[in-house]
Chains A and B, each alone.
Chain A
Amino acid sequence: MTQNSSQNILDKADAVLRKADDAITSSNQLLSQLNEEEEEMDKHDEQGQNKIDEEIAHIVEDTNKATLQFIDEVEKQ
């Protein structure tokens, strides 16, 4: 009876330890994954945002040229 009780508890302990190990592994993966992903994502996002900013800057530059051209045309008239 005692042996059975002990065995049962040990089985429970094994089961919960396995579950805990799984949880620890998953947690570790998540914790480490975020750092890598975040770094990569931030980098990628920054590049993307920078690219859009460049595009906007290009449009602004283009618009400024058009503005100057318009002013020039009006002044010539």
Chain B
Amino acid sequence: MNLRKSWGKIKNASAETTAGAIGGQEIETGQEEQDARVRQEAEPKRSLIGKLKEKVWPPIVVRDLIDHYRTCWKAPKVREEVTRKIEINTNELNDELEQEKTFKKERDKTTNELTKLKEKLGDALTAKSQTEIQKGIDNLEQKIIDAESKSEKLRKKIEKIKTSQLKFEAKIEHSCKRISAKLQRKIDRNQRVIDKKKEDVTKRQEQFDKNRETINELEEVKREITQHLQSGEVTNIVKPVLEKQLANISDRAEKLKNQNIQLQDQNSRLQDKVNILRGKNTTLGSKQKEIYPAGFKEATLQETEAEEEDEEDTEETAEEGDAEEMIEGQEADKEETEQNEQESTVEDEEQEQIETKETEDEELTVPHFFQNKEARASSPKVPEVKIDNTRELEGIMTKWNQWTKDKKEESLAIQSESFRRFLNESGGTVFSAPTLKDAVEKDEALRLLQDYFTDQVKDKAELPDIKNLAEDFIESYYA
């Protein structure tokens, strides 16, 4: 830009000198000498033009300029003036160039400073950002720590709640087990009352039959006496005696008939009570299942059988309800008694199962050898009956139950379910009917039973007793 300005000045000066020189062209003296001097003087200007040429001026401009100089060059005044102007302009140009250099220096310096400032600013900004980011990170980390702390606290709370819940659930289950066992006790009590009343019914039925038989005999003798009296063969001495006896017989027969009516009444009443108690037991059983169904998860074959028996029993009970026919009732009662024996066996087993659990819970001093929780937990809901003939199994179980009753071993009575499981697990190899007949298998059966008890027993101090009991049972079984 400065060069353009300089060129403008030069051009103007040249135009001015050219205009001034037009009138003086007549002065041509000593032309050559002057030319030489002018050339000499103009040398710096030439070099300036050379310099100008070196710049980025367009060639045509430079050429015009040179032509212009050449045109004007011939007039000395013009030359002088041009030279002077050129000098002035050159000086000014140099000044400007100098100034431009200075300015460039200053500009560079300023640029450098600006760059440095920018860098500083950038650094400062970066530093600030980093600080802020770090602060942000710190905040986030703190938040994470706080969150973790809260999470930990929450986790602990959850753990506590879980622990409480487990305890609570255990408590509820324990309570349900206990209530179930208590209900079982109620059921058992009722069953005992039922059994007692059935015995009473049987006794009265027997007495009723005996009375009926006696009445028949009385009636027969009465007929004989009557016939004898009517025959006219009776002496006067004997006749009043016979008549008195006839009256006695009638009296006894009447009394017996009355007693039989009373016995029937009592039996009807007893049967009603039995039916009521059975109804109660059914209700209690339902409640028991509602309260602690887990206790019935292991319900096995016998439960199904018990249900079937219950159904049959209900039908029979209905039949018994019509107790007008004592003989029919008696037959039904006999059937029921037989059935009830099986039923009571099943119920006994269920009761024993429940009591086992209750006893286990209450940590009573019963043997532990059937209290293997793992074994129970892993036992299938419906144990597989490996013994081929279920009746044989039931036969063994009946013997077992009888044996435990005879032994009056309550602690054994509760183990029936486990014993049944043992029989199932032992399969048909031991205790099944064929092997039971084989004396060779007796020792094997004893060994297996003792081994089983040994595996189950937790308190080793109980082992001798358990082994003795096993031996006792085997002896009793083979006997």
**A interface residues with partner B (beta carbon < 8 Å):** 2-3, 5-6, 9-10, 12-14, 16-17, 19-21, 23-24, 26-28, 30-31, 34, 37, 41, 45, 48-49, 52, 55-56, 59-60, 62-63, 66-67, 70, 73-74, 77
Q: Of B189, B210, B215, B266, which contacts A34 at CB under 8 A?
A: B266
Contact of A52 among B171, B186, B200 (CB under 8 A): B186
Separation of A9 and B235 alpha carbons in the complex (Å): 13
Complex interface bits, B198-211 against A, C-beta within 8 A gives 1, otherwise 0 = 00100110010011
B102 on interface, CB distance cutoff 8 Å: no
Interchain CB contact under 8 A, A70 and B168: yes
Query: When the two chains form their complex, are residues A73 and B259 in contact, meaning their CB atoms are under 8 A apart?
Result: no
Q: Are the CB atoms of A23 and B164 closer together than 8 Å?
A: no
Smallest CB separation, A72 vs chain B (Å): 9
Contact string, B175-197, partner A, CB cutoff 8 A, digits 1/0? 10011001101100100010010
What are the 3 tightest A-B residue pairs by CB atom distance, in nearest-first order?
A20-B252, A27-B259, A70-B168
Cα separation A30 to B253 with both chains bound (whole Å): 18
Tell me whether A16 and B221 are in contact (CB under 8 A): yes
Q: Are A5 and B228 interface neighbours, CB within 8 A?
A: yes
CB atoms of A70 and B164 under 8 A apart: yes
Q: Which residues of B contact A9 (CB under 8 A)?
A: 221, 224-225, 228, 242
Q: Which residues of B contact A20 (CB under 8 A)?
A: 214-215, 217-218, 249, 252-253, 255-256
B99: min CB distance to chain A, Å:
86
Name the one of B204, B217, B255, B262 contacting A16, with C-beta atoms under 8 angstroms: B217
Contact between A10 and B241 (Cβ–Cβ < 8 Å)?
A: yes
| Of the residues A13, A45, A60, A74, contact of B179 by C-beta under 8 Å | A60
Picked from A2, A28, A63, the residue with its CB within 8 Å of the CB of B259 is A28
Given contact pairs A2-B235, A21-B252, A63 touches B172 in the complex (Cβ within 8 A) = yes
Does B238 count as interface, using CB distance less than 8 angstroms?
A: yes
Contacts of B217 in A (CB 8 A): 16, 19-20
By beta carbon, the residue of chain B nearest A20 is B252
Q: How far is the CA of A23 from the CA of B193 in the complex (A)?
A: 27
Please determine whether B200 and A6 come into contact, CB atoms closer than 8 angstroms.
Answer: no
- B266 contacts across to A, CB distance below 8 A: 30-31, 34
Q: Which residues does B use to contact A, with CB under 8 Å?
A: 157, 160-161, 164-165, 167-168, 171-172, 175, 178-179, 182-183, 185-186, 189, 193, 196, 200, 203-204, 207, 210-211, 214-215, 217-218, 221, 224-225, 228, 233-235, 238, 241-242, 245-246, 248-249, 252-253, 255-256, 259-260, 262-263, 266, 270
Q: Please report the C-alpha to C-alpha distance between residue A7 and residue B39 in the assembled complex, in whole angstroms.
A: 208
Residues of A within 8 A of B165 (CB): 70, 74
Asked, given contacts A9-B242, A56-B183, whether A24 binds B252 with beta carbons under 8 Å apart, the answer is: yes
Are B214 and A19 within 8 A (Cβ)? Answer: yes
Residues of A within 8 Å of B253, CB to CB, are 20
- Docked-complex contact A17 and B252, CB < 8 angstroms: yes
> Chain A nearest CB: distance from B289 CB in Å?
16
Taken together as a complex, chains A and B put the C-alpha atoms of A23 and B213 apart, in Å, by 10
Known: A9-B224, A9-B228, A31-B266. A17 touches B242 (CB 8 A): no
The complex places the Cα of A6 from the Cα of B450 at a distance, in Å, of 74
Most chain B CB neighbours (cut-off 10 Å) among A23, A49, A63: A23
Alpha-carbon separation in the docked complex, A24 to B218 (Å): 13
Q: Which residues of A contact B242 (CB under 8 A)?
A: 6, 9-10, 13
Choose from A12, A13, A34, A59 the contact partner of B175 (Cβ within 8 Å).
A59
Q: Which residues of the other chain, B, contact A45 by a CB distance below 8 angstroms? A: 189, 193
Asked if A6 and B234 sit within 8 Å, CB to CB, the answer is: yes
A73–B164 contact, CB under 8 A? yes
- Given contacts A12-B224, A17-B252, A41-B193, whether A27 and B175 have CB atoms under 8 Å apart is no
Measured CB to CB, the closest approach of chain B to A52, in angstroms, equals: 5
Residues of B within 8 A of A70 (CB): 164-165, 167-168
Bound-state CA distance A76–B168 (Å) is 15
Residues of A within 8 A of B196 (CB): 41
Q: What is the bound-complex CA distance between A77 and B157, given in angstroms?
A: 6
